[in-house]
A = this chain, B = another copy of it.
């Protein structure tokens, strides 16, 4: 009998990332393709998803394919409804990719996928309640209660990135203004750096400078980290979770982001003399958490 594998594809604002996992959840292969951009044709995104997926196929086809996407996915896991960074609008993504690949496909929001990965193989193993925040181009989120991802009445729970944190604040791609992800995301990191330096650097460049000790770059991470802690404090007031797990591409810098976030969380939470502050920890499945979680959802739902 053939060895079984599952493929997960994470569709983000800047890239499409695919992984292949084994039956025990080990990541065996990884590939990325560029994202065509939010004004591209929907089919161009589907091309990128299919190509990235096939990049990680073994000599056997995978058993099933999971798709993790930044934005609103319907409760049935059939349609991508809306998102600030992707061109899909009310698009039957699950069936389109199933038709292209001939595989069983599952579709979920990226942060829901990341939370599933963390619960199964990551920092949230055994957790009853957990807040998951993914920081990439924007912010994704998921809420775990009773050991499961809360999907909400319409499948839309966990869309933390578009909570307003600044009245009449920065305009957001979603059409609103002052959204949390305008202050705490890869895009925000780039904006803060651009304002300070007068030139554009992308996120990995800012990270490299920060690790080399550059003070402007470190302050840029401190800025988005502080906003991370402020927003998490609000969500901790609302949910009172056991722990907070932070994933997504930007989280790969670790304490450059998480140390200021922990300080702001403790400073922004009511009554900390009388209540515990939950630990804020990095996602163990790393920036690939969405893709890994999508693959594990495909595995666990077959």
Interface residues of A (CB under 8 A from B): 72, 81-84, 89-90, 128-129, 141, 143, 145, 150-160, 162-167, 174-176, 179, 230, 233-235, 237-242, 268-271, 273-276, 278
Q: Contacts of A163 on B, CB cut-off 8 Å?
A: 233-234, 237-238
Bound CA span A239–B235, Å: 10
Q: Which residue of B lies closest to A166 (CB)?
A: B167
Q: Contacts of A129 on B, CB cut-off 8 Å?
A: 152-153
In the complex, the answer to whether B274 meets A240 with C-beta atoms within 8 Å is: no
Tallying the copies of this chain within the complex gives 2
Q: Lowest 9 CB-CB distances: which A-B pairs, in order?
A: A152-B240, A163-B234, A82-B271, A82-B274, A162-B270, A157-B240, A156-B240, A81-B274, A159-B237
In the complex, the answer to whether A238 meets B90 with C-beta atoms within 8 Å is: no
Contact A275 B238, CB 8 Å, known A162-B270, A268-B164 = no
Q: Contacts of A276 on B, CB cut-off 8 Å?
A: 154
- Chain A interface helix/strand/loop/mixed: loop
* One of B165, B174, B278 near A153 (C-beta < 8 A): B278
Bound CA span A166–B178, Å: 10
* One of B164, B238, B275 near A160 (C-beta < 8 A): B238
Bound CA span A105–B186, Å: 51
Bound CA span A120–B141, Å: 31
Bound CA span A174–B233, Å: 14
In the complex, the answer to whether A164 meets B72 with C-beta atoms within 8 Å is: no
Contact A145 B154, CB 8 Å, known A159-B270, A271-B72 = no
Q: Give A167 Cβ to nearest chain B Cβ, in Å.
A: 6
* One of B234, B239, B268, B269 near A152 (C-beta < 8 A): B239
Q: Which residue of B lies closest to A81 (CB)?
A: B274
